[in-house]
Structure 1
C-alpha cells in the first residue's frame, strides 16, 4: 500500500471532463485506488465517487493505492493532479 498527499493544481479541479479522464486513468491500473478529501474516501475508479468529492484547485487530497501497480499508479495520478491545464 502506498499513500500520497497532493495539492491539486488543476485549474477547474476534478469536475466534468477532467474527472472522467482521471477515472479513466485510474481504471487503467491493476491496483485498488482510493481518493480521499476531508476524511471522505471514494473509489478513484468511480466517476460518481470522484465527482461527489467536489475537488477544487488548491485543495489537498490523499491517494491510496494497493496492488501490483501501486507505485506507478500513485506517480501517474499524482502528476495528473499537479497539472495546471489539462
Structure 2
C-alpha cells in the first residue's frame, strides 16, 4: 500500500517525467530500496528525505521540505525503533 510520502514522491516524479530508475541513479540508491520507501515497506531516513527534496528541486519542482519530512516521519512511526532499516 502506498504511503502519503510515497504518493507525493511518485506523483512528483511522474509529473517531471522521471522514472524510479533515473531517480535512483541520481540519488545513488537501489531501485528496490526507493520502491520500498514509496510503498511503506522501508523506513525513510532523514538523509533520503533531504536528498529526495534536492532531487526534485534540481529538476525545477519545489516541494515543501517540511511536509516531506513530516510524511516520512509519519511513515516511519509504524516501524519499531529497532526495526528501522538503516543506511
Larger Rg: 2
RCO higher in structure (CA 8 A, sep ≥6): 1
TM-score, structure 2 normalization: 0.37
TM-score, structure 1 normalization: 0.38
The answer to which structure has the higher helix fraction is 2
